[in-house]
Chain A
Amino acid sequence: MPAPPCTSCHAARAALRRPRSGQALCGACFCAAFEAEVLHTVLAGRLLPPNAVVAVGASGGKDSTVLAHVLRELSPRLGISLHLVAVDEGIGGYRDAALAAVKRQAARWELPLTIVAYADLFGGWTMDAVARSTAGSGRSRSCCTFCGVLRRRALEEGARRVGATHIVTGHNADDMAETVLMNFLRGDAGRLARGGGLGSPGEGGALPRCRPLQFASQKEVVLYAHFRRLDYFSEECVYAPEAFRGHARDLLKRLEAARPSAVLDLVHSAERLALVPAARPPRPGSCSRCGALASRDLCQACALLDGLNRGRPRLAIGKGRRGLGEEGPQGAPGDRAQPPASETIPAF
Chain B
Amino acid sequence: MCQVGENYGEPATEESQPAPRPGLDKTPVLDCKEGLPVVVIRAGDAFCSRDCFKAFYTHKFRAMLGKNRLIFPGEKVLLAWSGGPSSSSMVWQVLEGLSQDSAKRLRFVPGVIFVDEGAACGQSPEDRAKTLAEVKLILQTVGFPWYLVALEEVFGLPPAVLRCSAQEPAGTAGAYKAAVDSFLQQQHTPGTEGAEDSPSLAQQQGQLCQPPPQGPMGLQSPTGPPAAAQTEALSRLFHSVKTLTAKEELLQTLRTHLILHVARAHGYSKVMTGESCTRLAIKLMTNLALGRGAFLAWDTGFSDERHGDVVVVRPMRDHTLKEVAFYNHLFAVPSVFTPAIDTKAPEKASIHRLMEAFLLRLQTQFPSTVSTVYRTSEKLAKAPRDSHDTAHSEPRCLLCLCTLDVDGADSATAFGAQTSSHLSQMQPHTALAEAGMHPVPCCPPEVGSAQGCCRGPCERGDPRVCVLEWLCYGCRVNMKDLPSLDSLPPYILAEAQLRRQRAWVLQEVQEYLIADSDGEAETA
Contact = CB atoms under 8 A, between A and B. Distances in A.
Q: CB–CB under 8 A between A and B in the complex? A: yes
Interface of A: 7-9, 18, 20-23, 25, 28-33, 35-37, 39-41, 43-46, 77, 180-181, 183-189, 192, 196, 198, 214-215, 247, 251, 254-255, 257-259, 261-262, 264-279
B445 interface: no
A30 B424 contact: yes
Nearest to B426: A8
A324 to B, nearest CB: 26
B380 A275 contact: yes
B348 A254 contact: yes
A293 B294 CA distance: 28
Given A33-B428, A187-B372, A271 B411 contact: yes
Contacts of A278: 379
Given A32-B428, A255-B351, A258-B350, A264 B416 contact: yes
A184 B284 contact: yes
23 contacts: A7-B424, A7-B425, A20-B416, A28-B428, A32-B428, A36-B424, A43-B439, A44-B415, A46-B440, A77-B432, A215-B413, A254-B348, A255-B289, A255-B355, A257-B348, A268-B473, A269-B288, A269-B292, A269-B293, A274-B382, A276-B380, A277-B381, A278-B379
Contact of A180 (B288, B354, B429): B288
Contacts of A247: 362
A348 to B, nearest CB: 16
A272 B294 contact: yes
Contacts of A277: 381
A277 to B, nearest CB: 8
A77 B436 CA distance: 7
B121 interface: no
Of B348, B412, B417, B435, most buried by chain A (CB within 10 Å of CB) is B412
A36 B423 contact: yes
Nearest to A21: B421
Interface string B19-34: 0000000000000000
Contacts of B292: 269
Contacts of A214: 412
Contacts of B441: 40, 44
Interface in B265-304: 284-285, 287-294, 296-297
B412 A198 contact: yes
A184 B376 contact: yes
Interface in B94-131: none
A37 B288 contact: no
Interface stretch (B2-10, B35-43, B402-410, B460-468): B402-410
A7 B424 CA distance: 9
Given A9-B427, A185-B372, A23 B421 contact: yes
Contact of A265 (B243, B439, B477): B477
B413 A258 contact: no
Contacts of B63: none
Interface size bracket, B side: 35 or more
Contacts of A22: 480
Nearest to A216: B416
A261 B480 CA distance: 11
A185 to B, nearest CB: 6
Given A269-B287, A274-B380, 20 more contacts: A7-B424, A8-B426, A8-B427, A20-B420, A30-B424, A31-B428, A33-B420, A36-B424, A45-B412, A187-B372, A187-B376, A196-B385, A258-B245, A258-B350, A259-B243, A264-B417, A265-B477, A267-B413, A274-B384, A275-B380
A37 B432 contact: no
B393 to A, nearest CB: 20
Contacts of B412: 37, 40-41, 44-45, 198, 214-215
B362 to A, nearest CB: 7
Contacts of B349: 258
Interface of B: 243, 245, 284-285, 287-294, 296-297, 348-351, 354-355, 358, 362, 369, 372-373, 375-376, 379-385, 387, 405, 408-417, 420-421, 423-429, 431-432, 434-436, 439-441, 473-474, 477, 480
Contacts of A44: 408-410, 412, 415, 440-441
Given A18-B420, A33-B428, A269 B375 contact: no
Contacts of A187: 372-373, 375-376
B431 A36 contact: yes
A8 B424 contact: yes
Contacts of A271: 293, 411, 413
A27 to B, nearest CB: 11
A39 B358 CA distance: 36
Contacts of B473: 265, 268, 272
Contacts of A266: 288-289, 291, 293
A255 B285 CA distance: 11
Contacts of B426: 8
Given A36-B435, A255-B351, A273 B293 contact: yes
A287 B412 CA distance: 33
B204 to A, nearest CB: 37
Given A35-B432, A187-B372, A261 B439 contact: no
Nearest to B405: A272
Of A198, A251, A272, A275, most buried by chain B (CB within 10 Å of CB) is A272
Given A44-B415, A215-B416, A254-B354, A274 B381 contact: yes
Contacts of A184: 284-285, 288, 373, 376
B474 A265 contact: yes
B440 A43 contact: yes
A197 to B, nearest CB: 9
Contact of A274 (B294, B354, B362, B372): B294
Nearest to B422: A21
Contacts of B440: 43-44, 46
B426 to A, nearest CB: 7
B420 to A, nearest CB: 5
Contacts of A35: 432
Contacts of B405: 268, 272
Contacts of B296: 269, 273
Contacts of A186: 372
B48 to A, nearest CB: 31
A20 B417 contact: yes
A50 B404 CA distance: 33
